[in-house]
Amino acid sequence: MESKLPEKPATAPPAGGKAPRRRAPGERQEAILKAALDVFSEHGFAAARLDDVASRAGVAKGTLYLYFPDKETLFEHMLQGVAAPALAQLARLASADTVPPAAAIAALLAFFETEVIGTPREKVIRLIVSEGARFPRLAKFYYEEVIAKGLAAVRTIAARENHNNFNAEAISRFPQLIFAPLLLSIVWRGTFQQFEPLDVSALIAAHKEILLHGHGERNP
């Protein structure tokens, strides 16, 4: 009589006896966006591969396409997620009518120093600076969704009354002045830091003293 081998169970349990927890859709999307930031930062937009994003996120490539139909859309959603806290801070400062302009600008510069430099937001801005000219759609998206909103917030702050010696006219015309040390720091850190380290805290303090001269904002 022919002997039969014991049948294997339809689904073998993983080592340890516990099946992996199935991630919720929101968790999968968050994992994809986090992986996208890493892959885009390491390889740039052009060389980044969705296969690598899916692999790092721990999802199938088909799953990635359920959330993001193409690389540009994924990049745009990644930009929005990383920029959201900074935009929220700008909106709070712009809507706080009782906060003097000098104090609002000082808070904005402090936010840049602690929440942008050395964080994923720095990586994103470096990506836009390096890739924006080659990919106008991405540059336009970042301008409309992030830059334009930031400039509008600074203009709102500069338009408040009782700004004393605060040069509201110049900052209203050129709100880019507020963001100048941020962009300089990011470009410098990515290109020249190994040759001449930049003290970002001291740079921002000097910039704040120039902008807010006469408002008691000087550092000792």
79/132 Cα distance (integer angstroms): 13
Q: Cα dist. 100→83, 94, 123, 136 in Å?
A: 25, 10, 31, 37
pLDDT at 27: 87
Whether residue 67 contacts residue 150, with contact meaning beta carbons closer than 8 Å, is answered with no
pLDDT at 21: 53
pLDDT along the chain (220 residues), means of 10: 42 46 76 94 92 95 94 95 90 89 89 90 90 92 94 91 69 91 93 95 90 53
Q: Which residues contact 201 (CB under 8 A, 6 or more apart)?
A: 113
SS3 sequence, 100-117? CHHHHHHHHHHHHHHHCC
**CATH number, domain 24-69:** 1.10.10.60
Structure tokens at 116: 């942008």
CB atoms within 10 A of CB 8: 7
Q: CA neighbours within 13 Å on the CB side: how many for 180? A: 13
pLDDT at 161: 67
DSSP tag of 145:
I
pLDDT at 163: 55
pLDDT at 102: 85
Q: Give residue limits of the domains in the chain.
A: 24-69, 71-211
pLDDT at 211: 78
pLDDT at 212: 73
State the greatest distance between any 2 C-alpha atoms of the chain, in Å, as a whole number. Answer: 103
